[in-house]
């Protein structure tokens, strides 16, 4: 008995009846298992077929009006659209401060919060500005050398510029610790990092003269105006539109492109920005359809790969919309009821700068602050358009914004005569409080 167990032999006598019974019992589970596998396989195929049919059905139902851009790629000469954009007259930098009207605001003791923000920001600025990445072009090398010398000789100035002001006369907009989306605990570190990123990763302000030979400023303006129409049709976020224009300018700063591919670059950058910003991004096929099938899916995907590789997948640098959201929050701090008109007007002014190539000389945070400054002045709000709270959170004084505000004011005045009317039509809707119809007040230099 022990021997039988050790050698693996059965402990009972094997007969023909036992063999037949064991074979019949073992074959039934295998048969049932095979049927189960077959059933699951067929059910999976049926689901795939249903999904495929559903996609075809939904694709055929779409009846949206498609905006098609045909003007950029069919230009015969560079002067065809020379009157499309009235460039903003940017004043000279050597301006004299004549008068300043500070506004008395609510005093808030925030000494501990200031010390925390100051220490973290200073350490971050020192560690970031010293390690500037190498650039390929001559203009980039010049910028890098300027930043390096700036970080060595003027650390005190950059700290004074980018850190939180020591003036206690401001309203604390980060006191709400309950909402996790506000990131109140470390929001100062976030925006100090963004202020450094906007200096390092920014497009050239003269790429039309140095890199591009076939694309002009007016072509770029027509393209951006059309992309605004596309964003309205697909109800895209403002961040998507601003990031799209940023990607276009960064690509044009580093790579030559023919005018026939400018629209392809535009829809490709909007596709990338949609994937980055939107919850549900439009498909590649939709972007092909919106160009009246001028480009195929393979061409868009090829251009997408080219854009991502040229930009080294740097898609996160801040735009004017990134700073505008926080600056508007600071501007609304003194109001018991937030002004929707102020928010819409500031967004309208910031969006106008996307069309004008000349505004590339300003960093995004400066444009956002200037939009808030001009919006408050146009709405004739009581007091000076700038106060201690805005100076505290933007790190800009009125004199720092003088050139940008005057350029933005000139752009707003010339917008009524511009043939690029999509942004103006967009902000004349009721949901934007018709801010595009507001008249522009005279801007005195005594504000700075």
Residue boundaries of the structural domains of the chain: 18-49, 111-202+318-447, 209-310
CATH class held by domain 209-310: mainly alpha
Q: Give every CB contact of residue 86 below 8 A, 6+ residues apart in sequence.
A: 411, 414, 417, 418
Q: Give every CB contact of residue 158 below 8 A, 6+ residues apart in sequence.
A: 125, 129, 150, 151
CA geometry: angle at 246 spanning 181 and 220, to 5°? 145
Confidence (pLDDT) at 72: 54
Confidence (pLDDT) at 172: 83
Confidence (pLDDT) at 174: 80
CB-based burial, 364-375: b 16+ in 10 Å, e otherwise: bbbbbbbbbbbb
Confidence (pLDDT) at 112: 45
Q: What is the pTM of this model?
A: 0.67
Confidence (pLDDT) at 168: 58
Tell me, yes or no, if the two domains 111-202+318-447 and 209-310 fold the same way. yes
d(CA 423, CA 435): 11
d(CA 322, CA 365): 8
Task: Enter the CATH code of domain 111-202+318-447.
Answer: 1.10.472.10
pLDDT tens for the chain, residues 1 to 448: 444 444 445 555 556 666 666 655 554 444 444 444 444 444 444 444 444 444 444 444 444 555 566 555 444 444 444 444 444 555 444 444 443 444 333 344 444 444 444 444 444 434 433 333 444 445 455 544 544 444 444 444 444 444 444 455 778 888 776 777 778 788 888 999 999 999 999 999 999 999 999 999 999 999 999 999 999 999 999 999 999 999 999 999 999 999 999 999 999 999 999 999 999 999 999 999 999 989 999 999 999 999 999 999 999 999 999 999 999 999 988 777 788 999 999 999 999 999 999 999 999 999 999 999 999 999 976 778 998 999 999 999 999 999 999 999 999 999 888 889 999 999 999 999 999 999 888 888 888 8
Measured between alpha carbons, how far is residue 197 from residues 124, 143, 161, 193, 390 in Å?
A: 11, 14, 15, 6, 21
């Amino acid at each position: 008995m022990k021997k039988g167990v050790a050698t693996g032999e059965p402990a009972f006598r094997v007969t023909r009846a036992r063999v037949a019974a064991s074979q019949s019992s073992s074959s039934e589970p295998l048969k049932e298992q095979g049927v189960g596998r077959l059933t699951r396989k067929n059910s999976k195929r049926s689901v795939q077929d249903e999904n495929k049919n559903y996609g075809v059905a939904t694709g055929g139902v779409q009846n949206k009006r498609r905006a098609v851009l045909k003007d950029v790629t069919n230009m015969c000469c560079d002067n065809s659209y020379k009157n499309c954009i009235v460039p903003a007259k940017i004043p000279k930098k050597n301006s004299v401060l004549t008068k300043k009207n500070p506004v008395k605001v609510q005093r808030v003791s925030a000494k501990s919060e200031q010390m925390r923000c100051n220490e973290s920001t200073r350490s971050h600025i020192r560690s970031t500005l010293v390690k500037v990445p190498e650039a390929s072009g001559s203009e980039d090398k010049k910028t890098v050398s300027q930043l390096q010398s700036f970080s060595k000789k003027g650390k005190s100035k950059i700290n004074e510029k980018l850190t939180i002001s020591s003036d206690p006369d401001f309203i604390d907009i980060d006191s709400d610790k309950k909402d996790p989306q506000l990131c109140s605990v470390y929001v100062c570190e976030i925006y100090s990092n963004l202020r450094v990123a906007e200096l390092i990763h920014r497009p050239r302000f003269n790429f039309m003269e140095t890199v591009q030979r076939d694309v002009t400023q007016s072509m770029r303006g027509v393209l951006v105006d059309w992309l605004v129409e596309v964003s309205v049709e697909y109800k895209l976020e403002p961040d998507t539109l601003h990031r799209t224009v940023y990607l276009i300018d960064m690509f044009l700063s580093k790579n030559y492109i023919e005018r026939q591919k400018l629209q392809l670059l535009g829809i490709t950058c909007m596709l990338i920005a949609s994937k980055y910003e939107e919850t549900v991004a439009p498909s590649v096929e939709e972007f092909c359809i919106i160009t009246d099938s001028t480009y195929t899916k393979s061409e868009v995907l090829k251009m997408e790969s080219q854009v991502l590789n040229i930009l080294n997948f740097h898609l996160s640098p801040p735009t004017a919309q990134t700073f505008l959201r926080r600056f508007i929050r600071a501007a609304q701090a003194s109001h018991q009821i937030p002004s929707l008109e102020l928010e819409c007007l500031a967004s309208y002014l910031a969006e106008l700068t996307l069309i004008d190539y000349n505004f590339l000389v300003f960093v995004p945070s400066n444009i956002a602050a200037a939009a808030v400054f001009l919006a408050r002045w146009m709405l004739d709000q009581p007091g000076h358009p700038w106060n201690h709270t805005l100076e505290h959170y933007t790190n800009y004084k009125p004199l720092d914004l003088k050139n940008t505000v005057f350029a933005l004011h000139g752009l707003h005045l010339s917008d009524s005569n511009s043939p690029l009317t999509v942004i103006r039509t967009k902000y004349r809707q009721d949901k934007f409080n018709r801010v595009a119809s507001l008249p522009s007040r005279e801007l005195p230099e005594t504000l700075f």
